[in-house]
A and B are shown apart, each in its own frame.
Chain A
Amino acid sequence: MGAFYAAVAVRGFRRYATYRMATAAGVFTNSVFGLIVSYSYIALWDQRPHLGGYTQAQALTYVWVGQALLMTMALMGGGFEDELMERIRSGDIAVDLYRPADLQAWWLSADLGRSAFHLLGRGVLPMVCGALVFDLALPSDAVTWLLFLVAVALGAVVSFAVRFLVALSAFWLLDGSGVTQVAWLAGLFFSGMLLPLTVFPGWLGVVARALPWAAMLQVPADVLLGRDSGPSAAGALAFQAGWAVVLLGAGRLLQTVAARRVVVQGG
């Protein structure tokens, strides 16, 4: 069965790779946004040096990691969830359910394929652009980069698991766009896309850093910045893995309950 999921992941990758113009336009957008946000951060860190414990170089690095991971983690949508919701709404999901494959593992493979493409296609170039324009605090040792890649992979799984739960809500709600928007807003804020979660004071910061969205950007960024290194890095990765297990488990449970509802929609 592993061969099947691998084939699905490869197809997920290729599927997005065919749209070269869209990718080029996306790289341009990411770079422009990266520049705008960078100058805002420079203004902010000039006023408040060491805000959130970051130096200005670290804060700028954080911005470009955010741009690089925006599509990888599908923080503004664009993942598999719309397609799955549409299949649920139309009843096509019945076709998927009788297959000798697991629904969750199937969509996870496809979405990881997409994430991998977006990391390469939409992540690397904006990062290079940022590094050329600004003085970024990028690590020089291979181990940190390797840890960063592991953190990105785990973050992608958590991101999938959250969106899988959101998509399954379509079994109960005829119109899932409300849930999608709430999830999207929560993701944008709690992943640290707007501002690093480390700058939020008190209980808000504590809660924000403990939620699963932190695993999508805050944790990978801190791993890359070396703020989480050694045993601390292990803790960060364990935090991500823990959320991945919990959320995938919840998705599995919900999938079982949802499958019983299949017939109600779409005869």
Chain B
Amino acid sequence: MGDATGGAGTVIELDGVEKVFEVRRRAGALRRTRHEVRAVDGISFSVPRGEVVGYIGPNGAGKSTTIKMLTGILNPSAGRIRIDGIDPTRERTRLARRIGVVFGQRTTLWWDLPLRDSYHLVRRMYRIEPARYARNLEACVELLDLGPLLDVPVRQLSLGQRMRGDIAAALLHDPEVLYLDEPTIGLDVVSKTKVRSFLREVNAERGTTVLLTTHDLTDIETLCRRVMVIDHGRLVYDGDLAGLHAVGESERTLVVDFARELPPVELPGARCVRSEGPRQWLAFPASASAAPLVAALADRFPLVDLSVREPAIEDVIARMYGAAEDRRSGA
């Protein structure tokens, strides 16, 4: 984190980036008070070429503001941003030709046009050579099952179909960096799976760098090796998915079936969180090994069966937000 040395391998580079909005509020008939909202409060990270990074956090954490600064729509109040060596605010148009953006909740397609015509306008807008355009379109149509949809006006597409259409539109000009802002929001399971496998394929084939914001943690688990968690405009975690469990002090659960009903068992390093007849749920730190616990149980109680449940990443992140909240109110 905060490695500002960059180098040929670094595509996205942020150094001490801040975004402060001034909000005016009515405080009486004429008087208005001003106060600052720090949407992004000193974020530094760098992403090497070809990496897929999950950028997650609760609503209002500053995710979209960050993406808007990365596309050059918003100027940072302080700090430095470079995308492939380009300063987004100074060279927004040059940058736009090298990035692709997908907003899950908005469409970049033309509502009243068939997909094919939308893509044609995209081709003109990005000045894509005909041969390259044909090749990319063909690949997208095949992988995203767009064939039967090409002549349907966008307004008649279902959400999942439109999303696939949008993703294809963002990739026709071979962007080096792809920002995905909640690309699977509102999609059914089949569409989600399709989108995810396509993104994996794009990343593997073309080496496209991907920054993904989402509330769907399956997206993260299937696509990203690295996760960044942002809260109140600050980066609270940057590392791999496994490490997130350790930081979030998450717990695994051992579900044990005893031969008969027993009082809640007490073992060092584990606590009974639930008990139903002969079955008990024992929680232990995710970072600890289950083996000694199982050995101790087998030693002292008549065991019938047991299984280990991994913590849901939702819980881990909820805990993490909770912890950050506690620290703030304690300070």
Once the chains are docked, how many angstroms separate the CA of A267 from the CA of B21?
Answer: 12
* Interfacial residues, chain A to chain B (CB-CB below 8 A): 1, 3-4, 7-8, 11, 15, 91-92, 94-95, 97-101, 259-260, 262-264, 267
Say if the beta carbon of B113 comes within 8 Å of chain A.
yes
Measured CB to CB, the closest approach of chain B to A1, in angstroms, equals 7
Once the chains are docked, how many angstroms separate the CA of A95 from the CA of B106?
Answer: 8
Inter-subunit contact A95/B125 (CB<8 Å): no
Interface of A is mostly: helix
Pick from A7, A262, A264: contact of B73, CB under 8 Å: A262
Q: Which residue of A lies closest to B126 (CB)?
A: A100
Q: Scan B95-137; emit 1 where CB is below 8 A from any A CB, else 0.
A: 0110101010011101011000100110011110000000000
* Interfacial residues, chain B to chain A (CB-CB below 8 A): 21, 39, 60, 64-65, 68, 71-75, 92-94, 96-97, 99, 101, 103, 106-108, 110, 112-113, 117, 120-121, 124-127
Q: Which residue of A lies closest to B173 (CB)?
A: A100
Interface of B is mostly: mixed
Inter-subunit contact B125/A94 (CB<8 Å): no
Inter-subunit contact B101/A98 (CB<8 Å): yes
| Given A260-B75, A264-B21: A101 touches B125 (CB 8 Å cut-off) | yes
Q: Which residue of A lies closest to B75 (CB)?
A: A260
Pick from B92, B101, B121: contact of A4, CB under 8 Å: B121
Q: Which residue of A lies closest to B109 (CB)?
A: A95
Inter-subunit contact B21/A98 (CB<8 Å): no
> For residue A101, which residues in chain B have a CB less than 8 angstroms away from its CB?
125
> For residue B112, which residues in chain A have a CB less than 8 angstroms away from its CB?
15
Inter-subunit contact B73/A98 (CB<8 Å): yes
Once the chains are docked, how many angstroms separate the CA of A114 from the CA of B110?
Answer: 16
Once the chains are docked, how many angstroms separate the CA of A100 from the CA of B126?
Answer: 7
* Given A11-B121, A91-B106, A98-B71, 9 more pairs with CB closer than 8 A: A15-B112, A92-B107, A94-B68, A95-B106, A95-B107, A97-B73, A100-B125, A263-B64, A263-B74
Inter-subunit contact A92/B121 (CB<8 Å): no
Once the chains are docked, how many angstroms separate the CA of A95 from the CA of B101?
Answer: 8
Q: Which residue of A lies closest to B96 (CB)?
A: A100
Inter-subunit contact B73/A94 (CB<8 Å): yes
Pick from B68, B74, B125: contact of A99, CB under 8 Å: B125
Pick from A15, A95, A100, A263: contact of B103, CB under 8 Å: A95
Q: Which residue of B lies closest to A101 (CB)?
A: B125
Q: Which residue of A lies closest to B124 (CB)?
A: A4
Pick from B94, B99, B124: contact of A3, CB under 8 Å: B124
> For residue B71, which residues in chain A have a CB less than 8 angstroms away from its CB?
98
> For residue B110, which residues in chain A have a CB less than 8 angstroms away from its CB?
11
Once the chains are docked, how many angstroms separate the CA of A267 from the CA of B93?
Answer: 22
| Given A11-B113, A100-B126: A263 touches B65 (CB 8 Å cut-off) | yes
